[in-house]
């Protein structure tokens, strides 16, 4: 980048500061805190501690300061989601979407957990799409959240059992959401797949600071 371009960018950043606030919701183990780390530093770790309550992180990308409310996904924290979604520029729903294979169903129907088996998923993972669907639709019925754009992120596409985007959109019933903008990306925090698209989407939804 030339000196002139750098100077222009610097001037632009002085005059066009943007800011946004968003809330990350989704079941436990979906990868919400991993996404925050990925956006903030590009780092990734297998050893994550479940979020208790919530964390707030501020991340700056170019001219945009993003205030992220990273909410705990365990059942006892889900009643807080609505409070932290009020007035934000966007709601981000994250989930790990795994398809149910016939072998997988067999394992669960017969209550066998064979650790040599290729599709070893725990019960919470197996149910994550239907539970995410009902939590999402319940959240979005709240009058305080009408019209807030929704970004759905299907995480962990590095895994072979990950669902395809179309299947995820259908299983979450996203097409029935008519009162707001809805967008969906399939991502991997582990392999940094589509994290750039997520950041671009967020930046497009920021507002000029008042």
Ligand X SMILES: Nc1nc2c(ncn2[C@@H]2O[C@H](COP(=O)(O)OP(=O)(O)OP(=O)(O)O)[C@@H](O)[C@H]2O)c(=O)[nH]1
Where do contacts with ligand X occur on this chain (CB under 6 A)? 26, 28-34, 45-46, 48, 50-51, 72-74, 155-156, 158-159, 188-190
Nearer to ligand X, 140 or 189 (CB): 189
Instruction: Give binding residues for Mg(2+) as ranges.
Output: 33, 51
Report in angstroms how near the CB of residue 14 gets to ligand X at its nearest. Answer: 35
Q: What are phi and psi of 190, to 5 degrees?
A: -65, -50
Nearer to Mg ion, 69 or 119 (CB): 69
Three-state SS for 69? strand
* 66, 31, 133, 138: CA torsion to nearest 10: -50
Report d(CA 33, CA 161) in Å as an integer: 22
Report in angstroms how near the CB of residue 124 gets to ligand X at its nearest. Answer: 10
Residue 30: contacted member of Mg ion, ligand X, none (CB under 5 to 8 Å, by partner type): ligand X
Residue positions counted in the chain: 210
Taking the alpha carbons at both ends of the chain, their separation in whole angstroms is 30
Q: Are 190 and 129 in contact (CB under 8 A)?
A: no
Residue 23: contacted member of Mg ion, ligand X, none (CB under 5 to 8 Å, by partner type): none
Q: Pairing state of beta strands 54-61 and 64-71?
A: antiparallel
Report in angstroms how near the CB of residue 70 gets to Mg ion at its nearest. Answer: 6
Nearer to ligand X, 74 or 171 (CB): 74
Report d(CA 50, CA 73) in Å as an integer: 8
Question: Where in 28-67 is the site for Mg ion (CB under 5 A)?
Answer: 32-33, 51
Residue 154: contacted member of ligand X, Mg ion, none (CB under 5 to 8 Å, by partner type): none
Report in angstroms how near the CB of residue 69 gets to Mg ion at its nearest. Answer: 11
Report in angstroms how near the CB of residue 16 gets to ligand X at its nearest. Answer: 32
Nearer to Mg ion, 32 or 126 (CB): 32
Instruction: Give binding residues for GTP as ranges.
Output: 26-33, 73, 155-158
For helices 32-40 and 195-204, the axis angle rounded to 10 degrees is 80
Nearer to ligand X, 73 or 168 (CB): 73
Q: Are 137 and 164 in contact (CB under 8 A)?
A: no
Q: Are 97 and 31 in contact (CB under 8 A)?
A: no
Binding site for Mg ion (CB under 5 A): 32-33, 51
């Amino acid at each position: 980048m030339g000196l002139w371009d750098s100077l222009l960018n610097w001037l632009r950043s002085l005059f066009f500061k943007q800011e946004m606030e968003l809330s990350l919701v989704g079941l436990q183990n979906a990868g919400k805190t991993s996404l925050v780390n990925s956006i903030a530093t590009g780092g990734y770790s297998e050893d994550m501690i479940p979020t208790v309550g919530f964390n707030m992180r501020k991340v700056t990308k170019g001219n945009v300061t993003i205030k992220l409310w990273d909410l705990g996904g365990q059942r006892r924290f889900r009643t807080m989601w609505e409070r932290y979604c009020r007035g934000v520029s966007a709601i981000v729903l994250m989930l790990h979407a795994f398809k149910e294979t016939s072998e997988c169903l067999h394992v669960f129907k017969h209550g066998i957990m064979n650790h040599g088996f290729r599709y070893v998923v725990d019960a919470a993972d197996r149910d994550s799409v239907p539970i995410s669907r009902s939590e999402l639709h319940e959240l979005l019925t709240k009058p305080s959240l009408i019209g807030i754009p929704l970004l759905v992120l299907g995480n962990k596409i590095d895994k072979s059992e990950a669902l395809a985007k179309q299947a995820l959109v259908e299983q979450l019933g996203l097409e029935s959401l008519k009162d707001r903008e809805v967008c969906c990306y399939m991502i991997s925090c582990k392999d940094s797949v589509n994290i750039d698209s997520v950041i671009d989407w967020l930046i497009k939804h920021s507002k000029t600071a008042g």
